[in-house]
Structures are given as structure tokens and as C-alpha cells.
Structure 1
Amino acid sequence: MKIVTYNVNGIRARLPRLLEYLDEQKPDALCLQELKCADDSFPAADVEAAGYGTVWHGQKGFNGVAILARGAEPTLRRTGLPGDPDDTHSRYIEAEVAGIVIGSIYLPNGNPRPGPKFDYKLAWLDRLRAHAAEVLAEEVPVVLAGDYNVIPTPGHDDVFSVRAMANDALMQPESRAALRRIVHLGYADAIRVRHPEGAVYTFWDYTAGCWQRDAGFRIDHLLLSPQAADRLLDAGVDKDYRGREKASDHAPTWVMLED
């Protein structure tokens, strides 16, 4: 079972790339982030025609998350992350697909820092940790997948230039520590389980020839509960899709679980 996370950076603009990916890779489940469209603008008919059922949580012009399932309808469990009833951002959706609980996550960027946006990012990570602990207690296969906007380590395996990102909210000690606290609940970082060493990037900025120079970093993660990690076969990045015409600045990042 191939489960993918893919920040599409605007689903209307990237719809041809998304449909192309579905046709060529045929993932069993796909988590989308940064839809940038309201609920009533989501291209449900196009996705359904490609053979996928979908649940989504949109927001006009910003954010937005979805979960797709091949040949099935995902069973929606929740939209929005608990813990802040005043949070209007569409950054979390959770569904069950083939007996696996899947969360699609679009974590706040947090820049500029210091400031309220960085504080919001850290508070959001704390809320995610609390919810991740609750889901973990169900003792079922769980995959928390998405654009976490956190570079896990300040090393070249996770980021092309430590100096370039030194002041960015994505690589601050507080951000990294908050992500570690989630992992240390008992989750496995699928990419690093399969690729413990070596550069693995999932994002390349559009500017300064970052793609051409392979100046990327790793911010798209798939965290597995022990029940999911026991079924782990492989994990990786479908990097070539970043180089296609009018592509997202993220590449699809995936995990393969035993059926």
C-alpha cells in the first residue's frame, strides 16, 4: 500500500500534474496540502474521474488539505486540529483508508521570527503532539503525513545549506525540538528508517536555481505508529516530478506498507 504526501502549492494550478501523478504512480492513498481553494472550488469531479474518492478541508486562497483513496471513499474522522476552537486555518484532516488512520498536515511556516507567526507555529506543534498521542493510544496503524515546515536536523542530510537557513523558522531549535517530541511519543520517521544517512530533500524553492543546483531541504514527513512501522517496506521521494513543467516546489514523498 503506497501512501503519499504531496504539497501541490495550489490544486487548480497544479491539477494537470496531480492527475498525471495519479495516473502514473497510482498511489493507494494521497495526502494533499496547500490546496489554496475554498471547499466548493475543489476539483472533486476531476479527482473522481481519475478513480479516487476524496475528503477535503479547504480555505479560499490559503492552506487547505485533502486525503484521496484509490477506488474507495476515505472515512472522514475529523477536520481541524483540536485544542483551539478559534483556529480558522484549514491545516489538518484525518480519515481512515483500508484500516489505516491517515492525517494530512500542513503545518504553519512560522516566519518571520521572532513574532506571533512563530509563536503560532510552536503552539500548533504542541496541539499536534497532543492529538498524535491520542491517536497513538488507539493502537492502530497511523500515518501522520504532510508538510511539517520543519527541517529535522541542522545537517546536510536534511538541508542544502545550514548557513542559508540558520535564521529561518523551519530550522530553529524550538521547531526541531517540537517535532522530536512528537516522534518520541513512539512514531517512526519513515524516510530516515529506510535512508538513515545521505541527503534526502523534498522541497526546492523556485528562486535562485534551487532545483537545478539541488539546493533543497526535507520538510515533508511521514510519521508511522508502531503498528504502521511494523508493516514498513520502503519509503522515498518521487523527485523527478519536481522537475516537470509548472510543477509544485515540493516533490511527492511516500511510504510503502505491507498490505
Structure 2
Amino acid sequence: MKIATWNVNSLKVRLPHVLDWLAAHQPDALCLQELKCENKGFPLAEIEAAGYHAVFNGQKTYNGVAILTKEPLADVVYDIPGFADEQKRIIAGTLDGVRIVCGYFPNGQAVGSEKFAYKMAWLEALTGWLKSELQSTPKLVLAGDYNVAPEDRDAHPDWKDEIHVSVPERDAFKALIALGLTDAFRLFEQPERSFSWWDYRLMAFRRNFGLRIDHLLISAPLVDKCSACYTDKEPRKLERPSDHTPVVIELA
């Protein structure tokens, strides 16, 4: 099973890239974030013509998540149960006994801001919900744009901003790991300065000035089945790309 995550930063703009990537890589599931479109504007016909089913949780202008799968998902959940939130950031479903949770984690803007407080509350709610999810479905993949670079090696050495690398954010990431999840990317030897996001400004991609903030955490029963995890930088080289690029796991 091949599962990928990709913040497309506007599905309307990046739809040709997504369709081309689906055709070339044939993932069993592709988790998308930052759709920036309402449900009524979701390009379902184009996705279905490409041979994929879709579940989506959209929002005008901001946020929005979707999971595209070759086979229909079961037990679909929208948003974090019990957490009052107008922002569309979570969607989950089960594929072949594997619970796939797709999340677009809050950015947080700046440490100490109201948006940062929201980010930390959101992360706490997510962690509490996933604890119960893991009890009912032990095989689980948490895919998405976390907006957290969990270790120093996940940020360019010249990254000066505190957001994405602060102690509270990294502690929240560790709390997810403590549920029994594993960072699939770190199961394998990776090149130094492996990132998944690069700013559009200052030739950041060309300079590889980036962050690794897109992750696939997997539960214990999937660790031995994980045969690969890698970042595909090719879509970031395209014309009008997303500032993120896909991250992929392969499960035997």
C-alpha cells in the first residue's frame, strides 16, 4: 500500500499537478491539505475520471482536507470529534484495515499569539482523539502538514523564526509519538537537509532553505511493514507549484 501526503496550497490551481502525480505514481491513498475550496467547488468529476474516489472537508479561501483513494473509504470522520472548530482541518477513513487520518495542522503565526494558543489547543484535542482511535483501529497513519519541524535537522540551520520549531510545538509532536506512533521518514537513512516545504521567496527552493513539516506517523503494527518513506521533490520544480511537495510511504 502506497500512501502520500501533500499540501497543495489551492487544489484549483494545482489540480493538473495532482492529476499528473496520481497517474505517474498510482498511490492507494493521497492525503491533500489546504484545498482552499468549498465542498461544492471540489473537482470530484476530474478526480473520479482519474480513477479515484474522494472524501473531502472543504472551506472557502482557507484550510480544507481530502483523501483520494483507489477503493472507497469506510467509517469517514470529519473534524475532531468533541472539539468545536469552524476550521476544516481533519478528515479520516479506513482503507483495507488501515485508519488514515489526514490533517492540516494550524500554522500558529507566532509563539505567544492567539493563533499559537489555538494551535496548541488543537494539537491537544487531536492527541486525545487519536488515543481512542488507536484503541479501536491499531493500524493507523497520521498524514499531513503538521507545521512542526520536530528536530533541529528538520529545519535549515539559518532558520531564525521561532514558529514551527518552538519547544511547545516540538513537545506536542512528542506527545503524538508517545501514543505509540513512529515518524516513518526516520525509519530510513535520509539525505541531510531533507525538507518538504520551501518559501516562494528568496529562491528558497533553489537554495534548499526549507523545513520538514509534512509527516507520516505510523502506529506500531505498521512499522515492520513500512518498506520506504521519501520526499518527492519533482512537483516543487514545476511551474506555479505548491510550496510543499509530496511525502510518501510504502507499506508491504
Calculate the TM-score normalised by the size of structure 2.
Answer: 0.96
Q: Report if the CA contact (8 A) 1:158-1:200 is conserved.
A: yes
Map 1:92-241 → 2, pairs under 5 A: 92-153=90-151, 155=152, 157-165=153-161, 167=162, 169-195=163-189, 198-241=192-235
Cα separation, 2, equivalents of 1:143 and 1:188: 9
User: Aligned residue for 1:82?
Assistant: 81
Structure 1: gaps (5+ residues): none
CA contact (8 A) 1:143 1:222 kept: yes
Could you tell me which of 217, 227, 251 is aligned with 2:245?
251
Moved more, 108-117 or 60-69: 108-117
Amino acid paired to 1:107: F
Amino acid at match of 2:231: V
How far apart are the structure 1 equivalents of 2:191 and 2:17?
Answer: 30
Residue-by-residue CA offset, 1:107-164 (whole Å, 9 max, x unaligned) = 00001331210000001110111111111112531000000000101x2x21113542
Give the alignment's TM-score, normalised by structure 1.
0.94
In the TM superposition, residue 8 of structure 1 has moved relative to its aligned partner by 0.4
SS of residue paired to 1:135:
helix
**Runs of 5+ unmatched residues, structure 2:** none
Number of aligned residue pairs: give it. 252
Other-structure match for 2:58: 58
Q: Is the 8 A contact 1:139 1:227 kept in 2?
A: no
3-state secondary structure, aligned to 1:137: helix
Inter-partner Cα distance in structure 2 for 1:162 and 1:114: 22
Secondary structure of the 1:30 match is strand
Tell me how far apart the structure 2 counterparts of residues 120 and 82 of structure 1 sit (CA, whole Å): 16
C-alpha separation in 1, matches of 2:29 and 2:191? 27
Secondary structure (helix, strand or coil) at the match of 2:164 reads: helix
Work out the percentage of aligned pairs sharing the same amino acid.
40
Moved over 6 A (4+): none
Alignment partner, residue 40 of structure 1? 40
Shift of 1:196: 6.4
* Deviation of the 1:192 alpha carbon: 0.9
Shift of residue 97, structure 1, vs aligned partner: 1.3
